């Protein structure tokens, strides 16, 4: 299988893709999330994709929700990956020599408490963690450090001068497995992602949420987004956990009349939240 990922050799998406799809996949690297979605959609270079959606420290990757909604791709699964961020440099460099730190914006956000201790160091956002590490090595960037995972430090032979610099010990990123053609929901599926709109009147969202609770569904995430064409109106993305497919289908029937434009993005099996 060819799996499109955001990032390049040694990045966290690669690890997530291997964990989910298996060791023998072929990776189709992409410089942005938009390119990832495009590759999965046109299907010439990728059969499926792996896309980060939220992180336990830095929060939701908001543009990815809109990318998903607009692409008509399907969510077929999820994977949670523990993320350990390290500060790495060319051998011999010390923290006092560093003037710039390069990494993916989500990785920089995960390490913001550490980075605030060095206000003179410039933060530079890049396509991904591993590419930042690669650039330090191939361009011989002496006063530049990269924030990336251990795998990248090994591939690009960089020294870790500050290990585990993410703000909280438990740092997890949730990734979604996405595909052009949805797979038929399995009877043992226990999670679904949907989006919907509600009318802009008092209590309309509460009615939906109460119905979800009444049906015994666990709402594991809800996120609101502006609807670009309708100023100050919002749509909602909701992740729901349930017992089995029949349980979800029953609840969905009750929720649908309370919403507008409801769409199921995927029905899949919940990923393991701890390594
Ligand atoms: O830069 C990488 O290594 C990535 O795979 C990207 C990414 C992200 O998009 O959130 C993946 C996991 C980590 O949260 C940090 C960065």
The answer on 109 and 71 residing in a single domain is no
CA-nearest residue, atom 4 of ligand 1: 12
The best mutation among 8, 55, 103 to test binding of ligand 1, ranked by most ligand atoms within 8 Å of the C-beta, falls on: 55
CA-nearest residue, atom 10 of ligand 1: 106
As a whole-number percent, the residues of the chain with pLDDT over 90 amount to: 91
Q: Which atom of ligand 1 is nearest to the CA of 11?
A: 3
Overall average pLDDT of the 103-109 stretch: 97
Cα 14 to averaged position of ligand 1 atoms, centre (Å): 10
Q: Which atom of ligand 1 is nearest to the CA of 103?
A: 1
Catalytic residue among 12, 21, 175, 248: 175
Would you say residue 69 lies in a domain? yes
The answer on 234 and 102 residing in a single domain is no
| Torsion 173-179-185-186 (CA) sign | negative
The chain-wide mean pLDDT, for the chain, equals 95
Q: Residue 154 pLDDT > 60, yes or no?
A: yes
CA-nearest residue, atom 9 of ligand 1: 52
Cα separation, 57 vs 23, whole angstroms: 28
Q: Is 196 a residue of the active site? A: no
The answer on 234 and 119 residing in a single domain is no
Strands (DSSP E) found in 140-200: 144-148, 159-162, 172-179, 191-197
Overall average pLDDT of the 218-246 stretch: 93
Would you say residue 40 lies in a domain? yes
Overall average pLDDT of the 250-273 stretch: 95
* Cα dihedral value 51, 55, 61, 66, nearest 10: 60
Asked if residue 81 lies in contact with residue 19, where contact means CB atoms within 8 angstroms, the answer is: yes
Q: Residue 112 pLDDT > 80, yes or no?
A: yes
CA-nearest residue, atom 15 of ligand 1: 107
Q: How many domains are contained in the chain?
A: 3
The answer on 79 and 6 residing in a single domain is yes
How many CB atoms neighbour CB 121 within 10 A? 17
Would you say residue 254 lies in a domain? yes
Overall average pLDDT of the 90-113 stretch: 97
CATH assignment at residue 105:
3.40.190.10
The best mutation among 12, 31, 64 to test binding of ligand 1, ranked by most ligand atoms within 8 Å of the C-beta, falls on: 12
pLDDT at 186 (0 to 100): 81
The answer on 130 and 262 residing in a single domain is no
The answer on 175 and 61 residing in a single domain is yes
* Cα dihedral value 104, 109, 115, 121, nearest 10: 50
Q: Residue 275 pLDDT > 80, yes or no?
A: no
Q: Residue 160 pLDDT > 90, yes or no?
A: yes
The answer on 113 and 57 residing in a single domain is no
Cα 85 to averaged position of ligand 1 atoms, centre (Å): 10
Overall average pLDDT of the 108-125 stretch: 97
* HSE toward the beta carbon, residue 25, CA cutoff 13 A: 25
pLDDT at 7 (0 to 100): 95
pLDDT at 232 (0 to 100): 86
Cα 11 to averaged position of ligand 1 atoms, centre (Å): 7
Q: Residue 188 pLDDT > 90, yes or no?
A: no
pLDDT at 183 (0 to 100): 76
Q: Which atom of ligand 1 is nearest to the CA of 10?
A: 3
**Ligand 1 interacting residues, C-beta cut-off 6 A:** 6-7, 11-13, 52, 55, 83, 104, 106-107, 128-130, 173
Q: How far is CA 32 from the centre of its chain?
A: 12
Overall average pLDDT of the 19-35 stretch: 96
Residues 6+ apart with CB under 8 A from 265: 68, 69, 74, 75, 192, 193, 194, 195, 237
DSSP labels, 60-107: E-HHHHHHHHHHT-EEEEEEEEE---EEEESTT--GGG--EEEE-HHH
Overall average pLDDT of the 99-112 stretch: 97
- pTM value is 0.94
Q: How far is CA 253 from the centre of its chain?
A: 29
pLDDT at 274 (0 to 100): 64
Overall average pLDDT of the 20-38 stretch: 96
Q: Is 175 a residue of the active site? A: yes
Would you say residue 228 lies in a domain? yes
Residue located via tokens 């690297």? 29
pLDDT at 248 (0 to 100): 95
70-100 per-position pLDDT tens digit? 999 999 999 999 999 999 999 999 999 999 9
Would you say residue 235 lies in a domain? yes
Cα separation, 147 vs 166, whole angstroms: 10
pLDDT at 200 (0 to 100): 85
Would you say residue 60 lies in a domain? yes
pLDDT at 228 (0 to 100): 86
Overall average pLDDT of the 209-237 stretch: 94
| Domain encompassing residue 206 | 191-268
The answer on 54 and 92 residing in a single domain is no
């Amino acid at each position: 299988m060819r799996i499109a990922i955001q990032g390049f050799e040694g990045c966290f998406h690669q690890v997530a893709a291997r964990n989910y799809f298996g060791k023998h996949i072929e990776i189709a690297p992409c410089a942005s999330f938009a390119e990832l979605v495009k590759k999965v959609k046109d299907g010439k270079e990728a059969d499926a994709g792996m896309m980060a959606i939220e992180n336990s420290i830095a929060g939701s990757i908001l543009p990815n929700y809109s990318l998903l909604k607009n692409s008509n791709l399907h969510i077929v699964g999820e994977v949670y990956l523990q993320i350990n961020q390290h500060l790495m440099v060319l051998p011999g460099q010390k923290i006092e020599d560093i003037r710039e730190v390069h990494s993916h914006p989500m990785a920089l956000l995960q390490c913001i408490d550490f980075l605030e201790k060095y206000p003179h160091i410039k933060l530079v956002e890049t396509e991904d963690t591993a590419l930042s590490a690669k650039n330090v090595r191939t361009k011989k960037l002496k006063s530049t450090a990269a924030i990336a995972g251990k795998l990248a430090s090994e591939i690009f032979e960089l020294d870790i001068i500050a290990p585990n610099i993410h703000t909280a010990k438990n740092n997890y990123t949730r990734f979604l497995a996405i595909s052009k053609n949805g797979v038929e929901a399995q009877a043992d599926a226990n999670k679904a992602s949907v989006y919907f709109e509600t009318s802009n009147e008092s209590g309309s969202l509460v009615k939906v949420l109460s119905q979800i609770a009444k049906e015994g569904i666990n709402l594991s995430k809800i996120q609101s987004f502006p609807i670009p064409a309708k100023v100050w109106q919002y749509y909602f993305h909701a992740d729901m956990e349930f017992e089995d497919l029949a349980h979800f289908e029953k609840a969905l029937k009750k929720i649908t009349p309370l919403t507008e434009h409801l769409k199921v993005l995927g029905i899949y099996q919940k990923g393991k939240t701890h390594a």
